[in-house]
Chain A
Amino acid sequence: MSEPVRVIYLGKLADIAGRSGTRLDVHAGPIDWSYLIDILENKVVPGLGEAVSDDRVMVALNGTLLADKTALVAQEGDEIAFLPPVSGG
């Protein structure tokens, strides 16, 4: 059994997703951006793939921000966080 990839939704993305996170099976290999968007849109909630594709949504992989989220490659045990614009403390 491989460790799943954990996907975390912050802010209003959690409302769109209807949950705070999703676990993805990676037995078929690493997850790239287009595969991830396809899963979010078609297996989690319609509209979620589009919502996280918004230019203002940033992505962190294991706590590190990605300069180009479309270059994402997630391996087993990784954590992907979708970060909409912050609204301040």
Chain B
Amino acid sequence: MRETRLLDTAFDPAALVDRLGAATPQSGGIASFVGKVRGGDGVEALELRHYEPLTLPGIEALADAAQARFALEGLVISHRIGVMHPGDPIVCVAAAARHRRDAILAVDFCMDHLKSAAWFWKRELKAGQWHWIEPRSQDYADLARWSKSAST
């Protein structure tokens, strides 16, 4: 099973992970990560914008790279766009593999790329005002881990 989706309405990450499990009877494990809108920072809403000709093709290329790099039985990536609120899922990446490390590393690899290299623009609503979010240097550092020859 291989699926990449951009969704403009709420989704259920658990159902996605369950479908991956059902579709990969040969796998020995599934790793997943669910990113959600953080609460407690005064953030009232989060909006993700995308550019259709680039965003989903970029995620498909990322899934190709993950499948080439790790021994996977299945890989799913669902990513929200539009306006979300604290607690809402933003992204779910799940990987099924014969052995755990491929699944765990594939999810980590995909998330580091989604956080710093995917075509999304993000803004937050705080105290009634929207603010664009600038790239974080930590996200670039996380991405750089995967280009060192010694890693994975």
- A interface bracket (residues with beta carbon within 8 Å of B): 10 to 19
Interface status of A89 (Cβ within 8 A of chain B): yes
Residue numbers of B with Cβ under 8 A of A are: 35, 48-49, 51, 53-54, 79, 90-91, 114-123, 132-136, 139
Contacts A88-B133, A89-B48 supplied; 13 other A-B pairs, CB < 8 Å: A10-B51, A11-B49, A11-B123, A60-B53, A62-B53, A81-B51, A81-B54, A86-B116, A87-B122, A88-B116, A89-B35, A89-B90, A89-B114
Residue numbers of A with Cβ under 8 A of B are: 8, 10-12, 15, 60, 62-63, 65, 79, 81, 83-89
CA distance A83 to B117 in the complex (A): 12
CA distance A8 to B142 in the complex (A): 30
Asked if B117 contacts A87 (CB within 8 A), the reply is no
Closest to A11 in B: B121
**Known A-B contacts A15-B132, A87-B133; A60 and B120 likewise in contact (beta carbons under 8 Å):** no
Asked if B51 contacts A60 (CB within 8 A), the reply is yes
